[in-house]
Chains A and B, each alone.
Chain A
Amino acid sequence: MRIALFVTCLADTLYPSVGRATVRLLERLGHQVEFPQGQTCCGQMHINTGYQKEALPLVRRYVETFEDCEVIVAPSGSCVGSVRHQHPMVARACGDEKLAQRAEAAGRRTFELSQLLVDVLGVDDVGAYYPHRVTYHPTCHSLRMLRVGDRPLQLLRRVEGLDLVELPDADVCCGFGGTFALKNSETSTAMLADKMRRVLDTRAEVCSASDSSCLMHIGGGLSRLRTGVKTVHLAEILAATRAAA
C-alpha cells in the first residue's frame, strides 16, 4: 500500500528518529512510504490556545498537502485527533464550509500508527525484537478522541523479548496539555509527578507512548530527576529488530 507520512512538526524537528522508525517499520512490512514535502504542522497548539484565525492557514496547508493521498499515517494520537476533530471545526468557525468538508475527507483517511497497523493493514505481529522491560502510557487523545483502545498493547505483546508491565492508572493524563504545561505549569507538574510515580513503581526501563509530546513531558521529568528511565516512542520499539540490535 502507498502510505503518506505526516511526520508532525514535533517529530520532524526534535524527534526525527520517530519519523525514521515509522518509515523503516512500514517499509519492512512491504509498504511504500511517501513524504509530501508541503507538510508542516497540524495547528493544534494554535487551536487549543484559542488562536483559531492563526490555525486556519495550517488547516488549509494540511488539506492541500494530503487530500490526494489514499492513506495518511502520523505517529501521534493527538495530531491525528486534531486533524480529524478540530480541522473541520476551525474551518467552520472561520466561515469556510468548503474547506471544512475537504478537511473531513482528509481526516477520514488519516490514521494514528497503531490504528493503521491493526485496523487498516491488519497486522499485530510486526516482527520486532526489543529485549527490555516496558510500560505503556496510552495518551488521552489516542484513548478518548480516537478510541484506539488496546491496539498499541496488542502490538507490543507480539514484540519478541519485550517484557510488558501494566501501568497503573494508565488512563490518567500526564499533565502535558500543550500550552497548559506553560500556562498552568505547576498543576501540570503535579500531574507529571503522579504519572512518574506510577511509571517508577512498575520498575520498567522504558516508558513508551504513541505521542512524542506526552513523551517529551514524561521524559523531561524522568530526565530532570535522573531516574534512569527512558521514554521511547511506540514506532521505535516496533521498528527495532534482532538484526539491528
Chain B
Amino acid sequence: MSTYLGMPTAPKGVGHLRGSEPFPAAARRALADTQLRHNLAMATATIRAKRAAVVAEVPDWEELRAAGQAAKAGAMRHLDRYLEQLETQVQARGGTVHWATDAVAANRIVTDLVAATGSREAVKVKSMVTDEIGLNEALAAAGITAHETDLAELIIQLGHDRPSHILVPAIHRNRAEIREIFLREMAAVDPALTDDPAALAEAARLYLRRRFLAARVGISGANFAIAETGTLCVVESEGNGRMCLTLPDTLITVMGIEKVLPSWQDLAVFLQLLPRSSTGERMNPYTSMWTGVTPGDGPRQFHLVLLDNGRTAALADETGRQALHCIRCSACLNVCPVYERVGGHAYGSVYPGPIGAVLSPQLTGVEENASLPYASSLCGACYDVCPVKIDIPSVLVHLRARHVDEARKERRLPHAEAIAMAAASWVMAEPRRYSAAQRAGRLGRPLGRRGRIGQLPPLLSAWAQARDSPVPPSQTFRQWWRDEHRKPS
C-alpha cells in the first residue's frame, strides 16, 4: 500500500472543506427535514430528466466523454508546464499572476489586491473555489463586503445560509422561502412581492443592478484556462457573471491549478460536455472569455490567483488524482440516491455529493474527512453520468482503504469493526474454519419468530432498526451438497 506523505493539504480553520460532524450524524438531521426531502426529490428528478434527454441527442457522447477524460489526464500529466505557460501568456497580455499554496495565502492576496484599489466592496461571479477558501469571510474581516451576484448565491448570502449543490446552491430552498428571504433582507423590495418566479427574478435584478453599476472590483473563479493564449473562461446562465467580468476597473480571478487546459481544441470538447451535463441544456446562455487586459474594453487591471490548497497532494495519488478532472457539472449529485435524500449540507464541504466525497478528503487529507468516502452505497450511477468518466466508486473504495491503512498505523480503527473484519478474513481464508463458523451461526436459529429475526446484537443492531433478518437455515448449501453427493458405501 502506498503512503501519501509530504504534500501539504488544505489548512484547518479556514474555508469550507470540513464539516463540524461526521456524515452519518449530519445526514440523520437532513433525513428528518420534510421540506428539504421534497425540494430535492422534485429538483433532482427534473434536472435528471433534462440531462438524459439532451445527452441522448448526441450520437458521439461516449467519444466526447473519452476525449474529455484524455484531455484532463494529459493536462494533469504536464500540469507544471501548462501552468507556467499560462502565467507567461497572462503576463504578456497585461495581467498579473499570483501563486497561492493554500486558502490562507489566496485570501491574503485577494484581500490586499482589493484593499489597494481603495474600494470597500466587490461584486462576485458564482465561484466554487472562492467558497472553498472562505474568501467572503476573509474579506469581511478586512472590512470589505463581497456581493454575490449569481441569483442562487444571492439567496444563500441573504439567507445567511450555506450552498448545498455545486450548480444550484439554493436547491434546498423553494420559492416561498426565497420570497421570505427577499422581504426580510432587501431594504428596497416591494412589500407586495409574490413568490412568482418572474417577480422574484425582477426583485433580484433591481437589487443587483445597483451593485453592478457601483462596483469597482469584480471577483471570479474560472471554469477553464487555456495555456496557449492565457485565456480565462467562465460559463454561466444568467449574464450576471458577465456584468462582474466587464464593468469593474479591477478583475481578480481565483482558479484551482487543475482548471488549466493546453489548447482551444481541448476547450471545444468541454463546451459540449459541460452544459448538457450540468443544466441539461444544449448550450449555456453566456460564455465569457478574456485574455489579459484590453485598453478601452473591460477591466484595466487583471489579476489571476492560482490556488493549490491540497491539489498537489491529490495529484500524488495515482488512483485518486482523477477527482481533479472534475468540471463541476454536478451530474453526479443529481443522480446520486444518497445526495437526493440528504442534500448537500450533510457532506460538510462546499463540494457535496459523490464528487465531493472523493475530492474533499483528498484536499484536506483523508483523516480529516474520513466519513465521506463511506457516504455512498457504491451504486455506480455517478460514474455512468460523469462527462469526464471519473470512476468515483473505485476512488471511494480506494480512499476507504487509505483511511483504514492510516488509522491502522495510528491504532485508531474502530475496535469492534477491525476485530470483526480480521476475524472474518481469518475464518474465510480456510474452508474448515468457515464451515465451523457456519455451524456456530446456526445458534441464531432460536432468535427466529415465524421465519424472521427482528432484533440483532450490537454491530448489527442498526440493520434491525428497519429490517428483519432471515433465520439461519437448518442446513447450509455445502452440507446439502455433501449429503447429495456422498458416494453410496
**A residues apposed to B, CB below 8 Å:** 7, 9, 11-17, 19-20, 23, 35, 37-41, 43, 45-55, 57-58, 61, 85-86, 89, 93-94, 140-141, 143-145, 171-173, 175-192, 216-217, 219-221, 223-224
Contacts and interface: CB of A to CB of B under 8 A. Distances in A.
Given A40-B434, A182-B462, A145 B401 contact: no
Contacts of A89: 394
B422 interface: yes
Interface string B321-361: 00000000000000001100110000000000000000000
B467 A52 contact: no
- Select the residue from A9, A35, A46, A184 with max chain B CB neighbours within 10 A: A184
Chain B's interface size range is 35 or more
B316 to A, nearest CB: 16
A45 B397 CA distance: 11
Contacts of A40: 427-431, 434
A43 B338 CA distance: 24
Nearest to A182: B462
12 contacts: A7-B477, A9-B428, A14-B470, A16-B477, A43-B428, A50-B373, A50-B401, A54-B421, A178-B378, A187-B24, A221-B466, A223-B467
B424 A93 contact: no
B473 interface: yes
Interface stretch (B164-172, B298-306, B379-387): B379-387
Nearest to B427: A40
Given A48-B378, A58-B429, A93-B1, A189 B473 contact: no
Given A35-B481, A39-B431, A47 B397 contact: yes
A184 B429 contact: no
A20 B479 CA distance: 11
A41 B50 CA distance: 42
B31 A14 contact: no
B375 A184 contact: yes
Interface in B10-55: 23-24, 27-28, 31
Contacts of A15: 470, 473
A17 to B, nearest CB: 8
B341 A16 contact: no
B384 A144 contact: yes
Contact of B377 (A51, A143, A177): A177
B452 interface: yes
Contacts of B31: 186-187, 190
A31 to B, nearest CB: 16
A144 B383 contact: yes
Contacts of B383: 144
Contacts of B427: 40
Given A51-B401, A185-B465, A191-B341, 5 more contacts: A7-B477, A13-B472, A35-B485, A58-B429, A171-B381
Contact of B380 (A9, A23, A144, A185): A144
Contacts of B285: none
Contacts of B460: 182
B397 A189 contact: no
A191 B400 contact: no
B374 interface: yes
